[in-house]
With several copies, the nearest count.
Chain A
Amino acid sequence: MASAMEQLYQQVILDHSRLRSGERSLEHPHGESFQVNPTCGDECRVQVRVTERRLTELGWTGKGCSISQASLSVMHEMLEGESFDDAEELGELFRELMRSRGAELEPADQQQLEDLSAFTGVAKYPARIKCALLGWMALRDAMLQAQHD
């Protein structure tokens, strides 16, 4: 059996932390949010362009650990082009996963999470949950902003 740490650093995560899908600044974003992890000073900025409650473009920049960077990369892959409703639903499911303390997920949820299910191991490390959620907090904020404009 893989150790807790090996479960934490699944290959998907290590790959995405190098892939950095969606790492770019957008021009004229409709919404953006800058978030900081106070423990380490890790930062990320998420920007969105929106048409009819749909994330037509999603870009991010930032510096951080493999967990936070991979989380942003997967977020981009899964949500660019998707509707607000889908983004909110996925975000909520991901937050739930992070609160699960590493318990097994229902198969349906696992399926919906796709690559995000690789983050299951993070939930066992309370100090790392913030890393995984940092980009998602920024996304929620950026979407809120885009909605209000």
Chain B
Amino acid sequence: MSELLDVSGDFPLLGRTVREGKRLVYLDTGATAQKPTAVLDAERGFNERHNAAVHRGAHQVAEEATEAYESARAALAQFVGADFGEIVWTKNATEALNLVAYAFLNATLGLGGAEANGFRLREGDEIVVTELEHHANLVPWQQLAAKTGAVLRWIPATADGRLDTEQLDVIGEKTRIVAFTHASNVTGAITDVAPIVERAKRNGAMTVLDACQSAAHLPVDFHALGLDFAAFSGHKMLGPTGVGALYGRAALLEQMPPFITGGSMVEIVTMEETTFLPPPQRFEAGTQMVAQTVGLHAALDYLSDIGMERLAAHEDQLTALLLEGIASVPQVRVLGPTDTRDRLAVVAFEVDGVHPHDVGQVLDDQGLAVRVGHHCAQPTHRSFGVHASTRASAGVYTGAADVEAFIAGLHRVIDFFGVGA
């Protein structure tokens, strides 16, 4: 076993205590990550020196703001294996996924001219999702289907919370879109992307990857994966809230009609009609989350300094510790793979006879911050026959002591509710 990282000192929030002086053990990184000082400094520094409207005006501060904003885009493109113009800023991954779904809707309603033909859906066209999706990569497609007459189909999950690769036949001739997660935020399972992309391509369908969990914890390369679109959020990657991004293959972004419309994405506007700028500006209407892109840039630098390979190795060890510790508590059932292969350090579980809210409460009382509920993935929970779970998830700043405290906490849950053997 290689050395674990030891960087929690970089994260001011982790120094605080909760519930009458208990050390905070933050195991909710799957929901949102804490931010290193470097990120907070970068964001504040921007606001103190370079804040102005971007892509406008000829004054020096505006020039600097534009430079900061666009260099964050360049850094992000490089970080995820994309070209500069293939990154569209959004407020979060959810908006990014909706952007794609609404491009299909708007094209289907006749916008975008002949260029947008590839985005027009016909009744009976199929959209394929999976049973492991976060609601953000399920509900927009349901809505699109309801509005266009397309049919929603899905790849089911296996009993241990992976995609059932025996059932990729769901993707067929009628499939126009395949939207799937790179890693489940419930089971932690990492998807083998290649066979899905291969089958989608063979059938002429576009691929949309939910990279929310993966981009934050693994090295990703969207070009190498051959994807058409991918969505992710800054706040999961040590960046600020309020910023996310869509990756879109250049040729496809070119063809898409806009989603949100307004200032800074137009060419010529008359009272009667409007022509639009090329991507990525076409999809960035109004004043953007500029300071937040600068914060995210600092987060990417921080992650790159560590190295995503090293981060992934660090988290693999934590996964092993988590699964091992949990295995020692017989009342606990993991919802997801129980080995570390192709798996993030995200572990959802049930405690026999104790509701997740109650589990979480007793853990919280010990300073252990976990997530309880359905984690925005009700169908995934239903596939396990439960409607909610407790989830512990690790990040760059999580250490072995955190996992130990967590396992001790689980024993206290068992004792407190008297559900011991």
Chain A interface residues (CB < 8 Å from chain B): 3-5, 8-9, 14, 36, 38-43, 63-67, 125-128, 131
Q: Is the pair B267, A38 in contact by a Cβ cutoff of 8 Å?
A: yes
* Nearest neighbor of B378 in chain A, beta-carbon distance: A41
CA distance A63 to B386 in the complex (A): 10
- Give every chain B residue within 8 A of A40 (Cβ-Cβ): 356-357, 372-374, 387-388
Is B125 located at the chain interface by the 8 A CB criterion? no
| Cβ contacts B386-421/A at 8 Å (1 or 0 each) | 011000000000000000000000000000110000
CA distance A39 to B56 in the complex (A): 5
Q: Is the pair A42, B58 in contact by a Cβ cutoff of 8 Å?
A: no
CA distance A126 to B61 in the complex (A): 12
New A-B contacts (10) at CB < 8 Å, excluding given A66-B417, A127-B62, A128-B361: A3-B20, A36-B267, A38-B264, A38-B281, A39-B56, A42-B387, A63-B387, A66-B357, A125-B63, A127-B57
Give which listed residue, B55, B361, B362, B388, contacts A41 with CB less than 8 A.
Answer: B388
Q: Is the pair A3, B365 in contact by a Cβ cutoff of 8 Å?
A: yes
Kindly provide the distance from the CB of A63 to the nearest chain B CB, expressed in whole angstroms: 6
Q: Is the pair B357, A65 in contact by a Cβ cutoff of 8 Å?
A: yes
Q: Is the pair B378, A128 in contact by a Cβ cutoff of 8 Å?
A: no
Is B19 located at the chain interface by the 8 A CB criterion? yes
State the majority secondary structure of interface residues on B: mixed
CA distance A129 to B102 in the complex (A): 34
Q: Is the pair B357, A38 in contact by a Cβ cutoff of 8 Å?
A: no
Q: Is the pair B361, A125 in contact by a Cβ cutoff of 8 Å?
A: yes
Q: Is the pair B373, A5 in contact by a Cβ cutoff of 8 Å?
A: no
Is B355 located at the chain interface by the 8 A CB criterion? yes
Is B184 located at the chain interface by the 8 A CB criterion? no
Q: Is the pair B388, A128 in contact by a Cβ cutoff of 8 Å?
A: no
Is B151 located at the chain interface by the 8 A CB criterion? no
* Nearest neighbor of A40 in chain B, beta-carbon distance: B373
Which 4 residue pairs spanning A and B have beta carbons closest together?
Answer: A65-B357, A40-B373, A65-B355, A5-B365
Q: Is the pair B281, A127 in contact by a Cβ cutoff of 8 Å?
A: no
Give which listed residue, A9, A14, A41, A67, contacts B374 with CB less than 8 A.
Answer: A41
Interface centre among B57, B361, B373, B417 (most CB of A within 10 A): B361
Given A38-B277, A65-B358: A4 and B67 interface contact (C-beta under 8 Å)? no
Kindly provide the distance from the CB of A134 to the nearest chain B CB, expressed in whole angstroms: 11
- Give every chain A residue within 8 A of B193 (Cβ-Cβ): none
Is B217 located at the chain interface by the 8 A CB criterion? no
Is B268 located at the chain interface by the 8 A CB criterion? yes
Q: Is the pair A8, B361 in contact by a Cβ cutoff of 8 Å?
A: yes
Kindly provide the distance from the CB of A92 to the nearest chain B CB, expressed in whole angstroms: 20
Q: Is the pair A66, B66 in contact by a Cβ cutoff of 8 Å?
A: no
Is B182 located at the chain interface by the 8 A CB criterion? no
